[in-house]
């Protein structure tokens, strides 16, 4: 085991050294053989297979990798992932992860308190933001006594598609997702929300505020939405997959102010903080609501001190993803967290300033995401396709989201290796693409 890991580390060292010279998005590569060979492979052959795999993979380590919310992973979290696999503990039940279950409860309790969810706040990790959203909404429905009812959900028109997916899982028709228009800043309009709620005839499952929309990084006015929910006695869920991590920073918590007034909240440290995937959690003011909702007898396990991990969400067997989060945050420290947020926000500002003089529609945003398209309506499709390729030719990878019927280019500035040099090349290329 240890000899193999040592060989993998040596192999990784070579690839890691070359990562910045390889494009963020490789061209087509032949897949290694997928079926097991008749006889097992030795380490050298395994490395050959891995070589092929790396050659064809998205490369987050390149400074021009800025298409999505998938930054280079935090180093300690990568080491934590290895240790997690080696320990092979199971968060399903306490006896299979005695200290790690405790670590998850404690760390999530600390984070919940830090984000303002109160002394008793806490939660559970799940493999990605979508699972966390489903966990939160199923809990909200159960807590509000709406199981089996045709309840509806309110969110901004710019909310994430995982809400629609959650409703499908919950057996609710797509039409129960009531989309409230956003204002010019891309934030849910609280007056329109209040008006719509006043007219509603169906039971209301929850109101969702998004702390960082996926395409432009807008943060809904959580305080005003919380006032409305409080006045009307409604469950407030905050989708903080992108922005909630700002609540961990004294300097940046104002960007997601009042987030702690939520009943439930999701946060993805795998995005902005770069904790190795998957790293996502659902947090609640009253975390025992999770076990109230999900517990089913685990007849084959010793009783838990509080509740088994497997009682607190959708997953049964679950890796101890808390290990890499804990180790990653320990490595970053408060200063490192602030630094990651500062750096990304600064790069986004530099890019915005560079793009501002160009004939572009440049929607505002509150976080580290910048999206834009040519001013002429309908020109985005061909332009974005052409320009994305031109950028890729220079090692810069952007994405092409569809937003309000128009195709945009989007840069996420969460990659700490992105320098002024890449941003300058990006601005020059965009400028040239508009003049031809």
Ligand X SMILES: *Cc1c(COP(=O)(O)O)cnc(C)c1O
Q: Can you tell me which of 112, 138, 222, 241 binds ligand X, judged by CB under 6 A?
A: 241
From 7-15, 207-215, 367-375, 405-413, span contacting ligand X (CB under 6 A): 207-215
CB burial of residue 45 (10 Å; 0-12, 13-18, 19+): exposed
Which of 63, 116, 129, 401 binds ligand X (CB under 6 A)? It is 129
What is the spatial distance between Cα 364 and Cα 370, in angstroms, rounded to a whole number?
A: 8
Within positions 289 to 308, which residues make up the interface with ligand X, using CB under 6 A? none
Of the residues 242, 245, 327, 411, which one makes contact with ligand X according to CB under 6 A: 242
Binding-site size for ligand X (CB under 6 A) equals 13
**Does the protein bind ligand X through residue 156 (CB under 6 A)?**
no
Distances in Å between the Cα of 387 and the Cα atoms of 94, 221, 275, 430 are 52, 34, 30, 7
Asked if residue 143 binds ligand X (CB under 6 A), the reply is no
Does position 97 interact with ligand X (CB under 6 A)? The reply is no
Which residue, 268 or 418, has its beta carbon nearer to ligand X? 268
Of the pair 313, 374, the CB lying nearest ligand X is at 313
Minimal distance in Å, beta carbon 314 to ligand X?
13
- Selected binder of ligand X within 97, 101, 182, 210 (CB under 6 A): 210
16 alpha carbon, distance to own chain's centre: 24
Near ligand X by CB under 6 A, which window of 8-16, 57-65, 206-214, 255-263? Answer: 206-214
Instruction: Report how far residue 100's alpha carbon sits from residue 104's, in angstroms, rounded to the nearest whole number.
Output: 6
128 touches ligand X (CB under 6 A): yes
Contacts (Cβ under 8 Å, ≥6 apart) of 78 = 276, 324
Contacts with 139 (C-beta within 8 Å, 6 or more apart), sequence order: 264, 282, 284, 289, 290, 293, 294
Considering only residues 97, 130, 384, 422, which one is a binding residue for ligand X as defined by CB under 6 A? Answer: 130
The bridge status of strand 152-156 relative to strand 204-210 is parallel
For residue 280, state whether it binds ligand X (rule: CB under 6 A).
yes
217 binds ligand X per the rule CB under 6 A:
no
- Spell out, one character per residue from 29 to 68, where the chain touches ligand X: x when CB under 6 A holds, - when not: ----------------------------------------
Closer to ligand X by CB, 239 or 311: give it.
239
- Tell the residue number behind the tokens 């332009």, with chain if given: 383
Q: How far apart are CA 168 and CA 161, in angstroms?
A: 11
Ordered alpha helix ranges (H), 356-404: 380-393
Nearest one of 158, 342, 133, 139 to 255, comparing CA atoms: 342
Q: State the Cα–Cα distance between residues 67 and 397, nearest whole angstrom.
A: 5
The binding site for ligand X (CB under 6 A) comprises: 128-130, 160, 162, 210, 212, 214, 239, 241-242, 268, 280
């Amino acid at each position: 085991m240890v000899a193999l890991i040592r060989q993998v580390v040596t192999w990784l060292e070579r690839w890691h050294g070359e990562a910045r010279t390889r494009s963020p998005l490789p061209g087509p590569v032949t897949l290694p053989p997928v079926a097991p060979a008749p006889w097992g492979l030795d380490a050298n052959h395994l490395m050959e297979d891995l070589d092929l795999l790396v050659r064809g993979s998205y490369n987050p380590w390149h400074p021009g990798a800025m298409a999505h919310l998938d930054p280079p992973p935090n180093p300690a979290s990568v080491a934590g992932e290895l240790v997690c696999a080696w320990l092979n503990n199971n968060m399903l039940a306490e006896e299979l992860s005695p200290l790690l279950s405790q670590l998850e409860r404690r760390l999530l309790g600390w984070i919940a308190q830090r984000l303002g969810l109160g002394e008793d706040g806490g939660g559970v990790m799940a493999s990605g933001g979508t699972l966390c959203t489903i966990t939160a909404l199923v809990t909200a429905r159960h807590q509000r006594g709406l199981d089996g009812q045709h309840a509806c959900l309110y969110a901004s028109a710019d909310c994430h598609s995982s809400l629609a997916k959650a409703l499908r899982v919950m057996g609710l028709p797509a039409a129960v997702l009531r989309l409230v228009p956003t204002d010019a800043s891309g934030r849910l309009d609280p007056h329109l929300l209040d008006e719509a709620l006043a007219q509603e005839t169906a039971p209301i499952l929850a109101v969702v505020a998004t702390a960082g929309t996926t395409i432009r990084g807008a943060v809904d006015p959580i305080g005003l939405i919380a006032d409305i929910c409080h006045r009307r006695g409604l469950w407030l869920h905050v989708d903080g997959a992108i922005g909630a991590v700002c609540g961990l920073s004294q300097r940046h918590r104002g960007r997601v102010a009042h987030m702690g007034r939520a009943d439930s909240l999701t946060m993805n440290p795998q995005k902005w903080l770069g904790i190795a995937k998957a790293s996502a959690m659902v947090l609640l003011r009253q975390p025992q609501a999770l076990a109230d909702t999900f517990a089913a007898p685990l007849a084959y396990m010793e009783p838990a001190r509080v509740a088994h991990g497997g009682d607190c969400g959708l997953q049964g067997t679950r890796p101890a993803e808390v290990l890499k989060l804990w180790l990653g945050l320990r490595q970053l420290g408060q200063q490192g967290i602030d630094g990651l947020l500062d750096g990304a926000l600064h790069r986004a500002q530099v890019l915005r300033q560079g793009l501002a003089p160009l004939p572009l529609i440049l929607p505002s945003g509150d976080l580290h995401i910048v999206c834009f398209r040519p001013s002429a309506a309908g020109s985005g499709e061909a332009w974005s396709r052409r320009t994305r390729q031109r950028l890729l030719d220079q090692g810069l990878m952007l994405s092409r989201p569809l937003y309000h019927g128009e195709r945009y280019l989007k840069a996420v500035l969460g990659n700490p290796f992105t320098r002024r040099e890449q941003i300058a090349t990006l601005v020059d290329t965009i400028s040239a693409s508009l003049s031809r």
